[in-house]
Structure 1
């Protein structure tokens, strides 16, 4: 099987959606009571966090592919 890159944003989205599903299931079962409109803002905040995590992961990945700092090519030229 081919390996793929780890994408933490997709992990966060999955966890947010699972949390929302479990909240509604707990409410349907009667174990937990909360206003049903409270889950939607929580899901929205979770999606915003997932977007932030995705953008940070992209920035880190792009920084690693460039090879590090801008000062590094100067050090190579001096050798």
Structure 2
């Protein structure tokens, strides 16, 4: 759900890496993505509101390259901010 997934209905996308922890071939990241709701998203009209999405990612590295990514984002928090819940 990082910036790439948010591009259609959202603009002014700013992603920050808040915390990184590495062990062996794994890197875990806690991130925040700040956006402005400027297009339809899941049936909700653009509100113009600034929103914040929180998430975690786990990267597996091999030879200095990312070979696996698992990611989770707080979609419930996003829907609450949009007034859908």
Bin the TM-score by the shorter chain: under 0.3
More helix by share: 1
Of the two, which has the highest radius of gyration? 1
Q: When the two structures are superposed, what TM-score results if normalisation uses the length of structure 2?
A: 0.24
Q: When the two structures are superposed, what TM-score results if normalisation uses the length of structure 1?
A: 0.25
